[in-house]
């Protein structure tokens, strides 16, 4: 068994061609580009038991070589994945079930009849790969860069494969992101948290692609640093999956959900006080602000405008044809992986970062709730729009971490505050806004915060 650490970056044909001659890869290319046609058959049961267990099983033809591979899902977010992989070189192009023993086969599939395994989809592509190597301080870094062009086929359905894979051979995971960031600064590369196997399953059964990522398990005693990192990874990963699926099928609700992940991530970055000094996140916040400035008005207009919804997929394709989305995503991944918000913060910031989430969040929400001054807006409800950033900071924590709080009727607080946030962005009448502000003010949970 070996552990595979890699980044997948979706690209256009033009970008793939430009990567072959990119100065950075040319300078560090130690092997030259080597071309390999690869044919892969994936297997599962009719009930897709392997897919549900987050396992991929394939046979690969690489010239005359036949390789049977079993991969576990592992940890994958924002295009950066770590997973276990087992390879067996075979004499014939047929599954060798005897290789699938207890040392690699998931315990959850222990009772599965392996005789039910059969072909389900194929991936056929040409891979051009090169060894990229350089010194990083005193450490040596080796990365395999692979340019893949081909297709996934499931029955009569097909989808193109056009991507750059960067696989770590030697060195720390952040080195992958450092190389990806440098490439994405010049070329439009979209971090893609979906494997070729997932694409095959999506073609075989469109409903099989899971949009949602499980919420990280946070408790009252979780440190603020750990809670923040878990939630930021969650939002970044969710935004990637939503972007990929919207690119794939153009369903309007996915674009609105994608935007919500960015709104939440922006609010999260602005909520930590001295635990994350503003200087540490300035570049990320500026990038998010630019994205939100373009996409929030479009999504808001599209709720009522069918023509805007019709035009949105092309607008999104144009966004992916620029460098800013992929570059932001990769920089955010690197920032989180290296825990950059902890650098150069003062002792008070260190104490805040180590604070228990339940205590910190109760105090923070109390401060935000008091600063809302909702009673003032019963008389001038049109001014509620100025409080949208504050409401967003409260809502992101209430949506993702309210289980760490001990407040009465906290689910109702989240729901009513979300409603106030929504109507504060719309041309609602003043009476409706004033009434909703009064409703939030009178909630038991809100009163417990501002007592």
CATH of the domain at 49: 2.40.320.10
Q: Is the same domain home to 129 and 179? A: yes
Q: Is the same domain home to 344 and 369? A: no
Q: Is the same domain home to 194 and 290? A: no
pLDDT for residue 374: 87
Q: Is the same domain home to 154 and 186? A: yes
Q: Is the same domain home to 311 and 362? A: no
Q: Is the same domain home to 374 and 330? A: no
Q: Is the same domain home to 330 and 386? A: no
The range of the structural domain enclosing residue 217 comes to 213-351
Q: Is 61 left (phi over 0), alpha (psi -120 to 50) or beta?
A: beta
Q: Is the same domain home to 361 and 326? A: no
Q: Is the same domain home to 386 and 270? A: no
Q: Measure the CA–CA gap between 319 and 313, rounded to whole angstroms.
A: 10
Q: Measure the CA–CA gap between 17 and 425, rounded to whole angstroms.
A: 44
Q: Measure the CA–CA gap between 379 and 333, rounded to whole angstroms.
A: 44
pLDDT for residue 325: 95
Per-residue tens of pLDDT for the chain, all 451 residues: 677 889 999 999 999 999 999 999 999 999 999 999 999 999 999 999 999 898 999 999 999 999 999 998 666 655 577 788 899 999 999 999 999 998 899 999 999 999 999 999 999 999 999 999 988 888 899 999 999 999 999 999 999 999 999 999 999 999 999 999 999 999 999 998 788 988 999 999 887 777 778 899 999 999 999 999 999 999 999 999 999 999 999 999 999 999 999 999 999 999 999 999 999 999 999 999 999 999 999 999 999 999 999 999 999 999 999 999 999 999 999 999 999 999 989 999 999 999 999 999 999 999 999 999 888 877 777 788 889 999 999 999 999 999 999 999 999 999 999 999 998 888 767 788 888 999 999 999 999 999 8
**Contact, 407 vs 397, CB < 8 A?**
no
What letters, b where the CB count within 10 A reaches 16 and e where it falls short, cover 141-158? Answer: bbbebbbbbbebbbeeee
pLDDT for residue 74: 64
What letters, b where the CB count within 10 A reaches 16 and e where it falls short, cover 332-351? Answer: bbbbbbeeebbeebeeebee
pLDDT for residue 76: 60
pLDDT for residue 434: 87
Output phi, psi for 368, to 5 deg: -65, -40
pLDDT for residue 272: 95
Largest CA distance in the chain: 80
- Identify the domain boundary among 326, 351, 376: 351
Q: Is the same domain home to 258 and 342? A: yes
Angle at 321 between CA 236 and CA 213, to 5 degrees: 20
Domain count, the chain: 3
What letters, b where the CB count within 10 A reaches 16 and e where it falls short, cover 284-308? Answer: beebbeebbeebeebbeebeeeeeb
**Contact, 221 vs 258, CB < 8 A?**
no
Q: Is the same domain home to 202 and 165? A: yes
- Identify the domain boundary among 180, 195, 210: 210
- Identify the domain boundary among 351, 374, 393: 351
**Residue among 241, 301, 32 at smallest CA distance from 144:** 32
Assigned token pair, 56: 């991929």
Q: Is the same domain home to 322 and 415? A: no
pLDDT for residue 382: 76
């Amino acid at each position: 068994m070996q552990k595979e650490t890699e980044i997948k970056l979706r690209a256009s044909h033009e970008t793939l061609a430009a990567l072959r001659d990119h100065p950075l890869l040319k300078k560090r290319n130690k092997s030259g580009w080597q071309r390999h046609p690869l044919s892969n058959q994936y297997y599962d049961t009719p009930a897709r038991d392997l897919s549900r267990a987050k396992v991929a099983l394939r046979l690969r033809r690489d010239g005359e070589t036949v390789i049977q591979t079993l991969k576990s899902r592992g940890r994958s977010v924002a295009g950066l994945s770590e997973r276990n992989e087992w390879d067996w070189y075979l004499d014939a192009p047929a599954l060798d079930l005897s290789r699938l023993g207890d040392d690699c086969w998931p315990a959850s599939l222990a009772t599965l009849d392996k005789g039910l395994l059969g072909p389900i989809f194929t991936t056929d592509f040409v891979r051009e790969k090169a060894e990229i190597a350089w010194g990083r301080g005193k450490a040596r870094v080796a990365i395999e860069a692979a340019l893949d062009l081909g297709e996934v086929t499931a029955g009569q359905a097909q989808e193109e494969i056009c991507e750059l894979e960067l696989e770590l051979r030697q060195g720390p995971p952040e080195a992958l992101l450092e190389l990806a960031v440098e490439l994405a600064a010049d070329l439009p590369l979209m971090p893609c948290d979906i494997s070729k196997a997932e694409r095959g399953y999506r073609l075989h059964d469109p409903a099989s692609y899971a949009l949602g990522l499980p919420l990280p398990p946070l408790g009252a005693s979780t440190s603020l640093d750990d809670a923040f990192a878990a939630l930021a990874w969650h939002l970044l990963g969710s935004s990637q999956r939503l972007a990929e699926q919207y690119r794939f099928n153009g369903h309007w609700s996915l674009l609105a959900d994608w935007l919500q992940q960015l709104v939440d991530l922006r609010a999260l970055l602005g909520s930590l006080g001295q635990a994350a000094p503003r200087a540490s996140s300035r570049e990320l916040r500026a990038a998010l602000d630019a994205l939100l400035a373009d996409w929030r008005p479009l999504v808001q207009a599209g709720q009522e405008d069918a023509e805007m919804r019709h035009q949105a997929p092309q607008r999104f394709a144009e966004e992916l044809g620029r460098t800013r989305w992929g570059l932001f995503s990769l920089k955010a991944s690197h920032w989180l992986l290296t825990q950059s918000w902890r650098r150069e913060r003062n002792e008070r910031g260190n104490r805040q970062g180590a604070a228990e989430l339940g205590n910190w969040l109760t105090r923070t929400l109390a401060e935000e709730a008091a600063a809302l001054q909702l009673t003032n807006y019963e008389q001038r409800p049109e001014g509620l729009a100025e409080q949208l950033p504050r409401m967003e900071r409260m809502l992101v924590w209430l949506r993702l971490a309210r289980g760490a709080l001990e407040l009465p009727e906290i689910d109702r607080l989240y729901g009513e505050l979300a409603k106030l946030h929504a109507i504060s962005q719309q041309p609602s009448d003043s009476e409706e806004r004033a009434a909703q502000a009064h409703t939030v003010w009178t909630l038991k949970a809100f009163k417990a915060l501002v007592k």
